[in-house]
Chain A
Amino acid sequence: MTSDGRDPADVLARARRDWSPRAGDAERVRRAVGVALASGAGGSSTAGPPRAPTWTARMLVASAIAAASGGAGYWAGRQAGLRDARPVAPGPDIARRAPAPPPIAPPAERPVPEAQPPLVPPAPVASHRGGHTTRRGGESGTPADSSLTVELRALRNTERALRDGNPGLALAFLEELDRQVPHGQLTEERDAAGTLARCARGDHPFGVNLGDEFVRRYPASVYRARVEQACVTTDPAASGDSPVRRSRE
């Protein structure tokens, strides 16, 4: 007991309780880990200490492949997307006020943090626990693997576009994804990304709050907080004005 009557043990117990995860935390992280592993990031994460020199070599190779494929895919998508998105792309104001958001798809491998999209694991390479490295998706994977890879790549590009303050481009990526993989596995992530992009663009469907709609569809979503944050200003009843206009005032 200290001089002011506070018991250190009580303070510690309270802190411990506050820091303990809630039920939803474990399930949310579990889902994110599952998505990352399904995409092949589990074997090439740089988050942990390398255990042997061979791991370093493998990670360098995986990073190089990831950087090349991610960058090329993003550039190609950006060129295509810019053509579609230009008419609806927001002005500089909305770009500036777009918050730097937490990831849409569960973050995983970030071998080059400044250059890599931090969301979806980019690598088409998966290292197995036994140390063997295999390619996923594309020509060698099953159709499910392949479509998941396409989804992950598109979501990664979408997130990047959102971080760049370009929701029009983000929507273009998502539309392209809808054409390529109409019924994918990452429906919640796609829905979250679309909602975020529309909110960032200032869409105001009459009488509809996009954030509320998303929460209604996914009440326990990992992305709920982020969507609510992004969409709070799109409620026409609450604001009566567009975020773009308000930001210029």
Chain B
Amino acid sequence: MKSSRISRRQALAAGTAGVVGAALPASAAQNPDTTRVQGPPGREIGARSPFEKPARTAFSPARTATFTPLQDLDGIITPSDLHFERHHGGVPAVDPQQYSLLIHGMVERPTIFTLAELKRFPGKSMIRFIECSGNGGRAYRLTTATAELTPQQTDGLTSTSEWTGVPLATLLREVGASPKARWLLAEGMDAAVMTRSVPIEMANDDALIAYGQNGEALRPEQGYPVRLMLPGVEGNASVKWLRRIEVADQPFMTREETSKYTDPLPDGTARMFSLVMDAKSLITEPSFPDKLEGHGWCEVRGLAWSGRGRITRVEVSTDGGNTWQNATLDEPVLPKCHTRFRLPWQWSGGEAVLMSRATDETGYVQPTTAELMKVRGPNTQYHFNNIRAWQVGADGVVRLVGGAA
């Protein structure tokens, strides 16, 4: 998966990923000629090559979040076992036989749905990203000139899956939601009994009551057996382990939409219900801890996404933002979804600064750190979609650039 001209420095990679893989099979170590020995037979559950050890990493002792190893992945789909996780009360173990979803409030028919009943409704699949609204804070607050931080460490709280479920609009019709309804409350069955208020327009747009992820049941960390999936919206609002939806005329003003997940502004107010994730991009390769081995061609690769629709353009600069070139966007380019961009680049051996800048279909252009800091202030807590920059040293070592790139 890695370009042959880019090496991942072994010591650091091991430190980041942890020692999770099994030792190499004895046959591989002792007999490298695979044409001279029969391989093992098939097995029920596949596993990665023992040579590949991507892993989520928690960066706090409480482990309330683990980050996706973006620098180890290609394409746009995040393998389900590497999808980032963030929770406020641990991961509950929910028995699907005991599970039910209650929808009540301003509805004609308060109703309880079992998992089997939810699956009988006409379903829908969509490939969409989920990003934690706090993703990128480490890069935004960086005060040193450069830092040895990976894409995983700065921005690993974003992932993309194919989600399958029943449109929330279908369920709201089924229970007869009042035309006077303006908001609904989504509530989880974790120890935080996590709650967020969601505008009814968003619920009736493309919201999904999801039970599938990448072709199988949701992973427990992603809300098994049922979660709310709000495409393009900050991750915490897509409430996991969903047990209840209450339809109402007003927002509920839960802790997670007042005390948390609000954005103080330099004018002395604070923005609330700032749900949509603005356009963002990130070069995932080369990035720390890569080291370019020798001059010549390699490929600059990364991800771009917007909560407001499709990515229409990603520009890449290799000279610190003085000049920009359009990167190629891999198909499919889907709305509210990770989009893979690529640009072949010839490294001449000198110092270079690599940057990417995304534009979405509304015409929004990913801002510089200085532009974002001007409108949000240095002490803001969420929605860090500012441009990232990577410095390639003359020795080939790649580091994250700090400050106002």
Same assembly:
no
A residues with a Cβ closer than 8 A to B are: none
